[in-house]
Homo-oligomer: A and B are copies of this chain.
Amino acid sequence: MVRGKILSLRYGILGTGALGGFYGAKLQKVGLDVHFLVRSDYQHLTEHGLVIESVDGDFTLPQVNVYPDVEKMPRCDVVIIAMKTTQNYQLPQMLPIVLKDDGVVVVLQNGLGIEEEIGKIVACNTSHPIIGGLSFLTANKIAPGHIRHLSYKNIILGGFTANYQTMEITSRMQKIANDFENAGIPTELTEDLLLARWKKLVWNIPYNGLSVVLNASTAELMGDIYTRQLVENIMNEVVLAAKACSREIPKNFVQLMLGNTAKMPSYRTSMKIDFDEHRPLEVEAIFGNPLRIATALSSDLSLHFPLITCLYQQLKFLDKKNRHLV
């Protein structure tokens, strides 16, 4: 080992669905050392590897390092959490095993407050942050080991301290971002991922919520004057909740999101897909945590976010009923 040589980072991917499979494959394709935790498709991936069908060009990885559980994985410098937040209850068992002592966690999940929960599992501080990540990937797993990438693939990364404060960009974050960029994944570094997370919630809260509650596509929600107005009312409430957390979302952002969504092809949201598949919904990460965090920080007690609360309650009911737990 030559002093000063920048060592290559070893990546662990927890969750090999569309998101973990796509990003992990992109990293491996440029020669990085990648290790996948795989649940249901373990046997298939061992035999056939990963097939990526992508707008950027299709490719196949006949051999991938896959593991049925973390006990068998090598310890990694960077552990990317790419499973649904509903599986995060497994992380206290997983992370201490798979993460190197000086390793970092990249939380590539939706919603709010997850980095804080993970900060309670792994040691972190300002020189050793939890890295939060927002992915704008449009991809589906269409068969075991077979991922179809439709559009967008960019990522925003930002660091968090143990007490869930955003922080400046570290050299390690820069190195990870370089790896992603080299792998063809446009990656932005930010000193305030919370603002980015709230902006994504402006879209995710109304469309994910209403798509499940009303059994509707984005096109149906935008094509009806009543639900279009409801989407806008909910977006405005998310902007207020962000403001309670000292995050200012620009005034024109709501109209921009509405306009973009009205123009895009009709879309079945990820929460609707989970619902249709009778999988648990990410209600706490996308609705519950933002509500609790914004409410706790609201100095104005009249701010109580009635629409987000209503969606949260409706989804909690439907999620339970949908999984036959009633």
State the A residues within 8 Å of B (CB): 210, 213-214, 216, 220-221, 223-224, 226-227, 229-230, 233, 302, 306-307, 309-310, 312-314, 316-318, 320-321, 326
Contacts and interface: CB of A to CB of B under 8 A. Distances in A.
A213 B209 CA distance: 13
A313 to B, nearest CB: 4
A213 B227 CA distance: 13
Given A214-B318, A306-B233, A321-B220, A227 B313 contact: yes
A292 to B, nearest CB: 14
Contact of A226 (B210, B317, B326): B317
A220 B314 contact: no
A316 B228 CA distance: 12
Nearest to A311: B310
B213 A312 contact: no
Contacts of A302: 302
Given A214-B318, A317-B216, A230 B310 contact: yes
A317 B227 contact: yes
A244 B310 CA distance: 22
The 9 closest A-B CB pairs, nearest first, are A226-B316, A226-B313, A230-B313, A306-B306, A227-B317, A224-B317, A226-B317, A306-B307, A310-B310
Contacts of A309: 230, 233
A89 to B, nearest CB: 20
Given A220-B326, A320-B224, A326-B220, A214 B314 contact: yes
Nearest to A315: B226
A204 B314 CA distance: 18
A326 B317 CA distance: 27
A18 to B, nearest CB: 29
A244 to B, nearest CB: 16
19 contacts: A214-B314, A214-B318, A216-B317, A216-B321, A220-B326, A223-B326, A226-B314, A227-B313, A227-B314, A227-B316, A227-B317, A230-B309, A230-B310, A230-B313, A230-B314, A233-B309, A306-B306, A306-B307, A310-B310
